[in-house]
Amino acid sequence: MSGHSKWANIKNQKGAADARRGQLFTKISREIILAVREHGSDPAGNPRLRLCIQKARDSNMPTENIERAIKRGAGTLEGMTIDEFVLEGYGPGGAALLVDVLSDNRNRTIQEVRSVFTRAGGSLGEVGSVNWQFEQKGIISIEVVEGMNADDISLMAIDAGAEDVEADADYIEIYTSMEDMENIRKALEDNDVPVKSAELAKVANNMLELDEATSLSVLKLIDRLENLDDVRSVWSNVEFTDEVMEKYEG
């Protein structure tokens, strides 16, 4: 899982992220609308909405965009009907992929996702064919900066209730239960630890190792899926090495 999470952080650093910012804001707005429609417009009583708002702020989404999405979700502004669902499929080398979707046209989105899988040599699977391989977790990512002690932060996170911590020269990734993620993030920020991102993720129970060429093909498939307007996120069970990540980025 750590390989895919690092992949998300690498993309945030690339120049292409700026070009996709409008698309990112659209996706986050849909998440906010759905969160409000399901559990109300008060963030204090709506954990999902709190997470969406924090994600929007982490992405530098303007406050007026956030407020507009909340109003649309609450019905005070005209908005679209949004459907949330998960598509499951297999990519090159038998890689298992989950595709989280927020769409105003289910049939159109399924066809678009199916087309991307097919062109990559993969295929969509039946409901339940892939999902059983994943478990939902919280992932808090911290970018390592000069003077930061990764060991101290790891111990702090574990004391706050983290289930696992992985660290390298660039990032510290903290794995939590869904219920504890917000509290752990707050504990870190209260201790002046800058959190780069916090999100609910689908973590594979067993990772798959592929050769370099196949791994690069899977990364290309993930990138094409995430470029679809209706796709919120993509999760895979592939263990991407640092060498593969660097080669793909280049």
State pLDDT tens for residues 57-93: 888 899 999 998 898 888 765 666 788 899 999 999 9
Q: What CATH number should be reported for the domain holding residue 41?
A: 1.10.10.200
Q: What is the pLDDT at residue 175? A: 92
Which of 183, 204, 225 delimits the end of a domain? 204
Q: Looking at the structure, tell me whether residues 109 and 221 fall in a common domain.
A: yes
In the predicted model, is pLDDT for residue 21 greater than 70? Answer: no
Total count of domains within the chain: 3
Q: Do 69 and 179 fall into the same domain?
A: no
User: Using one digit for the tens of pLDDT, what is the confidence trace for 176-216?
Assistant: 998 899 899 999 999 999 888 888 888 898 999 999 999 99
**For 93, which DSSP code?**
G
Question: Which amino acid, 164?
Answer: D
Say if residue 223 is in the same domain as residue 106: yes
State whether 50 and 144 are in the same domain.
Answer: no
CB 56 within 8 A of CB 50: no
Beta carbons within 8 Å of 133's beta carbon, 6+ residues apart: 96, 204, 205, 206, 237
113 and 232 both lie in a single domain: yes
Give pTM, 2 decimals: 0.76
Residue 80's pLDDT is 64
Q: Taking the alpha carbons of 65, 70, 74, 76 in that order, is the dihedral positive or negative?
A: negative
In this structure, the answer to whether residues 121 and 242 fall within a common structural domain is yes
CATH number of the domain at 245, please.
Answer: 3.30.70.980
pLDDT at 34 over 50: yes
Are residues 128 and 153 located together in one domain of the fold? no
Instruction: Please tell me the predicted confidence (pLDDT) of residue 4.
Output: 44
How large a percentage of the chain has pLDDT more than 90? 42
pLDDT at 2 over 50: no
Residue 125 and residue 219 share a domain: yes
3-class state of residue 124 by DSSP: strand
For residues 195 and 222, state if they share a domain: no
Examine the domain organization and report whether 154 and 40 are in the same domain.
Answer: no
Residues 22 and 113 in one domain: no
Mean pLDDT of the region 48-54: 88
Q: For 150-183, what is each residue's pLDDT tens digit? A: 899 999 999 999 999 988 888 899 999 988 998 9
My answer on whether 228 and 104 are in the same domain is yes
pLDDT of amino acid 122: 95
Range of the domain at 237: 83-132+206-249
What confidence tier does 10 reach under pLDDT thresholds 50, 70, 90? very low
